[in-house]
Structure 1
Amino acid sequence: MLNYCMMEVVVSFPSFILFLLLSSATVAFAQNYSEHLHFYFLERVAGSPNATAAVSVNLHPESPVGGFGNIGVMDDILLEGPEPSSPVIGRAQGLVVYSDLTGLSATTAVNLVFTAGEHNGSSLAMFGRYEQERVSDRSIIGGSGQFRLARGYALSQLVDATATTLTAEFDVYITYP
């Protein structure tokens, strides 16, 4: 035989008000911020003076950069505007793995490290597929400093390419606590 026990909960008006205030405070601390960052990325390609990118594993020496299985590293420049003389706001440091048999895309793991402006000292971790011929859509999977626990996505596209440099435009959309 089952015994059921009913308990009557009596809540006084002052304790109910206290409960509501504490609940509101908890929600306020859990607030998230959303932000759109817009900047440019400047890469000085391998072999050019002051190169900011290099192929560290080259399984296909006949290929200048890409080639299935090749691995590159970068420490590229983040700029406020598209001109190489624009103010530097940070660095893009990471790996590029040529993991596409067609050679038209690569897998990237990049830290966007901010060294100037309101985000100085913070970074975003970006991971995903870079595509040469179209807009690349990559994930923001974390961050540090102001961007700790950030989530979001980054859209980038090539806006200029010369024999020695590549310039890409970035739009990064993030949410963080």
Structure 2
Amino acid sequence: MEGRLIILGLALILISIATIPVADCAYHSETLPNVMKEKITKLHFFLFDILSGSKPSAVEVARANISKGDTSPTPFGSLFAIDDPLKDGPEATSKVIGNAQGLYVSSSSQPGTLGLVMYVDFGFTTGKFKGSSFTVASRNPVTEGKRELAIVGGRGEFRMARGFAKLNTYFLNTTNGDAIIEYHVTLIHY
């Protein structure tokens, strides 16, 4: 009986010690209830990707050695830096509402296909979403008429964004690579 009392006493002491708060803890974590309400925003705009002329918005910054002699505007393994204007319509005179900045690499080695892998931030410079952006990190099979890209983040009004962008090639010059792409974007954000 005495042995059981000693074990019970030790157990109570251990439980008491385990429940004493640590005042000088260097790391603290607390999970709070989600009080932010999710929003869904739909956007429609046109991206102008211009590789030609004296002021291109997309510039080749690296090319794979195996693509020497390839005369296409976007040979396999080529890396492009972009600062493409986003406009509210497909005409050259349409209002600029933002820009897409980032990188894309030509990722298709098959003849007759063009695929890109894109890492691009779509930022808005006017209107309700001025100062906000969303980020795409996705494969873009350009030769498919309608395609979809993954949205993986955002900032400003689009903080913690996720979603998708449905693309349609509005115009493509296969000689110089200039393109106008129509974007229908669905964002889920806070």
TM-score class, shorter-chain normalisation, is 0.7 to 0.9
Identical positions, percent = 29
Runs of at least 5 residues in structure 1 that lack an aligned partner in the other structure: 1-25
C-alpha displacement of 1:166: 1.2
> Which residue in the other structure is 1:101 paired with?
109
Distance 1:136 1:67, change over 3 A: same
Q: Does the CA contact (< 8 Å) of 1:111 and 1:124 recur in 2?
A: yes
- Count residues in correspondence: 150
Match of residue 50 from structure 2: 44
C-alpha distance in structure 2 between counterparts of 1:36 and 1:92, whole Å: 17
Larger Rg: 2
Q: What is the CA-CA distance between 1:61 and the residue it aligns to?
A: 3.5
SS in 1 for 2:93: coil
The residue type paired with residue 82 of structure 1 is P
| Cα shift readout 1:106-142 (whole Å, capped 9, x = no counterpart) | 1111100111111100010011111222222111100
Q: Which moved more, 1:67-76 or 1:87-96?
A: 67-76
Query: Distance in 1 between the 2:39 and 2:167 partners?
Result: 22
Specify the alignment match of 1:53 in structure 2.
Answer: 58
Q: 2: CA distance between counterparts of 1:136 and 1:91? A: 20
Runs of 4+ off more than 6 Å: none
Structure 2 gap ranges (5+): 1-32
Correspondence for 2:38: 32
Measured on the aligned residues, the alpha-carbon RMSD in Å equals 1.6
For residues 20-169 of structure 1, the aligned pairs below 5 Å read 29-45=35-51, 47-59=52-64, 60-63=67-70, 64-102=72-110, 103-134=113-144, 135-162=146-173, 165-169=178-182
CA contact (8 A) 1:55 1:65 kept: no
Which TM-score applies when normalising by structure 1?
0.78
3-state DSSP of counterpart to 1:168: strand
TM-score, with normalisation over the residues of structure 2? 0.73
**2:155 and 2:36 mapped to 1: Cα distance?**
18
Structure 2 Cα separation of the partners of residues 160 and 92 of structure 1: 18
**Separation in 2, partners of 1:112, 1:140:** 10
Q: Cα offset for 1:69? A: 1.8
